[in-house]
Amino acid sequence: MSEQPPRHRRGNGKGNGRSGGGGDASSGGFRRWLAGLGRRGRISLVVGAVVIVVLVGAVLAAVLSSGGTKGGTKSNSSTTSSSLGTLPSTSLPQVVTNSKLCPLTGLPAAGGEATHRPALAVKIGNDPASRPQSGLDQADIVYEEMAEGGITRYMAVFQCQNAPLIGPVRSVRWDDWNILEPYRQAILAYSGGINPWMQEAATLPWIYNANGSFEPTANAYYRYNSSSLPASLGPPYNYYTSTKALWGLFPDAKTLPPRLFKFSKTPPAGNTVARIVSIPFSGASPVVWRWSRTENQWLRFYDAKPDVDPAGTQLHTTNVVIQIVKTRFGPYNESGPDSRDVESLTVGSGTVYVLRNGRVETGTWDRPGPKNITKFTFPDGKPITLARGTSWWEIVPDYVTVTIQK
């Protein structure tokens, strides 16, 4: 995890397109040329130079005034370069100023109004040593992403609910901010990572950067002592946090997340019965979701073994979004030689399965640009809807075969 960012070659003062030792001759030639212009020519040259400087200064001022981020840092990320004017406005995230419903779940908000705070996304490990994790059952949305070496990582997103214990917290990945851009403003909480990815996360204008490896944001994390949780293994499995500590890092952040989904009370026409859905990411993560009519929830397993929280309660959710995506290898080894990170391409379109109410809705996901909200539609163009409640969003490489049993 300590790989350095790419280094760029810098000039040594002896080259840069000029022949060595020629400085005196070239400066003398310039003086002779300037003298030959005459007084009127020299005045015109100076005036022209001043005009150019003024124009360049105006352009720079305009660029800098529009590129500011939190804390005055400018983003140099190529992922922010898409033009809003080229994207369909109907799929851009809309500002939510007040809501009686939780923006990410559609459920009634406690106290009658959603708390004015941004979405909080926390990176949580999911290699076998990280289990059982804390805090997943309090998240509004849990994203599961491919990491490297056949393992997946979670990004648990909180907004309406609180979690007193979240962990083990792990490192940042390229996927994270690419998923979060439609949230408009979001806190991204993680513990270190490859240097270029940490630098990228720190400069993006839609991210409140809560890196647990640097002060002062590291104050929101601590080494947890436990004989039963993954923390018993020591670093990096004993790094934990809470929603209170993380939201407390950014007390002035008040932007509610947009509504990412369309909700309905009953599944629309175009669905079929589904009871068991298998997503074999790898031998380390053979995910299975089973519908429980009794609990009206999807229950999570690894093959036939229930996936449980530290209290022994099986992890569950109201909706499961299965987004089939293309992937590519990233440029860095994440956990040793030959462990290049997997980047999931969530801009574009592809197949989607939405599990709700013991049924599956099959259609297409579409996200034309990084700032757009992902839309789900049936083949006839009608929207695919979710039930009100929590969601797990499985981002599945297209080489993984998803099996749905009725």
**Overall average pLDDT of the 289-317 stretch:** 97
Q: What six digits make up the tokens of 83? A: 């033009």
Nearest-5° Cα angle at 369, 366 to 375: 25
pLDDT at residue 34 above 80? Answer: no
pLDDT of residue 309: 97
What integer pLDDT is reported at residue 330 of this predicted model?
93
Enter the DSSP assignment of 5.
Answer: P
Residue-wise pLDDT tens digits, 41-56: 444 444 444 334 334 3
pLDDT score for 203 = 97
3 state SS of 196: helix
Q: Quick check: pTM over 0.95?
A: no
Residues of the chain with CATH 3.50.90.10: 91-247, 271-405
Check residue 90 and give its pLDDT. Answer: 54
- The dihedral region occupied by 72, where left means phi > 0, alpha psi between -120 and 50, and beta the remainder, is left
What pLDDT, on a 0 to 100 scale, did the predictor assign at position 112? 93
Torsions phi, psi for 71 (to 5 deg): 80, 5
Residues of the chain with pLDDT > 70, as a percent, come to: 77
Residue type, position 247, single letter = W
Per the CATH hierarchy, to which homologous superfamily does domain 91-247 belong?
Answer: YerB-like (3.50.90.10)
Burial of 103: CB neighbours in 10 Å, binned 0-12, 13-18, 19+: buried
Tell me the pLDDT band of 355, cut-offs 50, 70 and 90.
Answer: very high
Answer yes or no: CATH 3.50.90.10 is held by domain 271-405: yes
3-state secondary structure of 176: helix
Beta-strand runs (E) in 56-198: 119-125, 141-146, 152-158, 186-190
